[in-house]
Homo-oligomer: A and B are copies of this chain.
Amino acid sequence: MARSTAESKAATAAKATGEAANASGKARQRGVTMTDVAQRAGVSRTTVSFVLSNRENTSISAETRIRIAEAVQELGYRPNAGARALASQRSDWYGIVTEIVTAPFAVDIIKGAQDQAWLDRRFLLIAPSDQADAHGPNQGLEDAAIEKLLEQRVEGLLYAATYHRGVHVPESANEVPTVLINCFDADGKLPSIVPDERTGGRVAVERLLQAGHTRIGVINLDPDIPAAIGRLEGAREALAAAGLELDPELVVSGHATADGGYAAACTILDRYREGQGRPTALFCLNDRMAMGAYDAIKERGLTIPGDIAVIGFDNQELIAAYLRPKLTTVALPFEEMGALGVRTLAALTAGQPIAADQQLVDCPLLERSSV
């Protein structure tokens, strides 16, 4: 194939036309490169590169730009992201490593991050992790996953957990900017983004108070985890603001499942009679427990929200939206956390300062029908 750029433009055009049918047919297998485009447009590859990357400070005639655009179109040229990354020394990729792939709970973090990355014209490489999966066949998967991501030359790392907690991030993550989502660095070095549990707890109880409830039962999680601590603290704040206190007798911890919620609700409900100290509302620290509480309440012939109002936490769609009545709950801002994570990473990789070492994201109240 003639490669001389000295070849007359007429000849080039003729050849190009001849190939057009070819190119748009099945003959084009793969590998249309920038050089092909350049040849077809009758310019140098450099010029094509300048045009395609919208380079400034470079004057290229409108006519040439058009010819190049046509050539791109006709040949079906598609840039090679890998080659570009190699030459430009930047990949436009972020990596996210998470056990979310395994546990669908907080898949919205990925969605939020994806969307934001898309807006920023960046690509998200998702890698699996086995943080919580000690018994699986994937021991050490997490380190290997980060390693793989670094081999792809990601410019930054997101590390997400399915539930709010402290984590230890593998050392290799230190080689690029890293942001934790829905968890925080137990070693206190890396920036993180977590839900504002405290405010969420306050909002929930405020909603109950606003509906006229003053005696509120709390179905608590394992009291040691950040979610329980924060949410309970918020609940106390709200009560305090109303001049009330949280009756310790009304706080029952249980296993974070529907069965646990059922048992806890039974304990509370059976301890008192109606009007004799029995709470008129239940704040369940997660939706699964609320699901169990529903059963306990219904079993006793009580109605929701008539006799007992219920408010949950987490907004697990499959539960909250399908319970009957639909559950009013406080949502965890997974999408926002994911998006903020990407934005924070962008700032970090650009060398800009970030707002704070630990950023809190609001947990909004989702009104449905259980209060």
Q: For residue A152, which residues in chain B have a CB less than 8 angstroms away from its CB? A: 81-82, 123
A126 and B128 contacting across the interface, CB-CB below 8 Å: no
**A151 within 8 Å of B (CB atoms):** yes
- How many of chain A's residues touch chain B, expressed as a range? 35 or more
Cβ contact within 8 Å between A80 and B151: yes
Docked Cα-Cα span, A91 to B83, in Å, equals 12
Within A131-174, the residues touching B (CB, 8 Å) are 138, 141, 147-148, 150-153
- Asked if residues A81 and B151 are in contact (CB atoms below 8 Å), the reply is yes
Of all chain B residues, the one with the shortest Cβ separation from A107 is B104
User: How far does the alpha carbon of A104 sit from the alpha carbon of B150 in the complex, in Å?
Assistant: 27
Contact digits for A98-114, partner B, Cβ 8 Å, 1 yes 0 no: 00011010011011001
Q: Does A295 interact with chain B (Cβ within 8 Å)?
A: yes
Q: Is the CB of B79 within 8 A of A82?
A: no
Q: How far is the CA of A298 from the CA of B123 in the complex (A)?
A: 49
A111 to chain B, nearest CB (A): 5
Given A79-B151, A292-B324, are A124 and B123 neighbors across the interface (CB < 8 Å)? no
- Known interface pairs A86-B82, A298-B298, A324-B259; A107-B101 also in contact (CB < 8 Å): yes
User: In this complex, which of A104, A175, A288, A316 has the most chain B Cβ atoms within 10 angstroms of its Cβ?
Assistant: A104
**A interface vs B, CB < 8 Å?**
30, 78-83, 85-86, 91, 101-102, 104, 107-108, 110-111, 114-115, 118, 123-126, 128, 138, 141, 147-148, 150-153, 175, 257-259, 262, 288, 291-292, 295, 298, 316-319, 322-324
Given contacts A114-B126, A257-B322, 19 further A-B contacts (CB under 8 A): A78-B150, A78-B151, A80-B153, A81-B152, A82-B82, A82-B86, A82-B91, A101-B107, A104-B104, A104-B108, A107-B107, A115-B138, A118-B128, A118-B138, A123-B125, A258-B323, A259-B324, A291-B322, A319-B322
